[in-house]
Amino acid sequence: MRFMARIVASTAGFRDVGLGIGAVALVTASLTAQSVPHVGTWQVNLAKSKFDPGPAPASQTRVYEILQDARGPAYDMLKLTQTSVLQDRPQFVSEYGARFDGMDYPATESGVYDSIALTRVDANTFDATLKRAGKVVQTARNVVSADGKVMTVTVNGADVATGRTFRTVIVLDRM
């Protein structure tokens, strides 16, 4: 009887391991170009966007891609390269690479934030928390339409200089 109890106890452990492996497989398969509809090149639609407080950029292009990690798909990242031309300064490029795990990852050349954390909401939506020196300065919800042709990014935050809160809605078309 004691021997049977040990077998049952040890097979329960295998069941838990099996469930864990299944969960890893789901996470592993989750970050592919097919499963992240944001992947691709997007151009801001100035006529449909609302930049509060403004001014709107003269242009903005976003390129989302999957950065594959040699350790396997569970370590892959979503990379954004954003090229912007503002009314009062020359073109600049900001970038980040992050996983959908809610952890902070470095961002470069933003001028507003120096780290970003991403969380997946559903297949077409992710949330971003943007921080500067560890303090949240903006949040953003990034949604791709069901047909995959339009992306809407809603940004909430506060102006660094004045403290005035804002809500900007950026509409981008797939190129």
pLDDT tens digits for range 26-71: 333 345 555 789 999 999 999 999 998 788 999 999 999 999 989 8
Q: Establish if 26 belongs to a structural domain.
A: no
Provide the token pair at 62.
């976003």
Contact 142, 120 (CB under 8 A): no
Provide the token pair at 105.
């990852």
The residue that leads in pLDDT, 3 or 124, is 124
Q: Which residue has the tokens 């944001």?
A: 38
Q: Establish if 15 belongs to a structural domain.
A: no
* 115 pLDDT more than 80: yes
Half-sphere exposure of 122 (CA within 13 A, CB side): 5
CA distance 170 to 165: 16
Count up the domains in the chain and report the number. 1
Q: What is the pLDDT of residues 88-108, one digit of tens each?
A: 778 889 889 999 999 999 888
Domain boundaries, position 141: 31-174
Tell me the CATH number at 90.
2.40.128.20
Residue type at 129 in one-letter notation: T
Q: Establish if 78 belongs to a structural domain.
A: yes
Q: Establish if 164 belongs to a structural domain.
A: yes
Q: How confident is the model at residue 118 (pLDDT cuts 50, 70, 90)?
A: very high
Q: How confident is the model at residue 159 (pLDDT cuts 50, 70, 90)?
A: confident
Q: Establish if 4 belongs to a structural domain.
A: no
Average pLDDT value for the chain: 81
Q: Establish if 9 belongs to a structural domain.
A: no
CA distance 168 to 160: 15
Contact 169, 152 (CB under 8 A): yes
User: Across-strand partners of 78?
Assistant: 66, 98
Q: Establish if 143 belongs to a structural domain.
A: yes
Q: Establish if 111 belongs to a structural domain.
A: yes
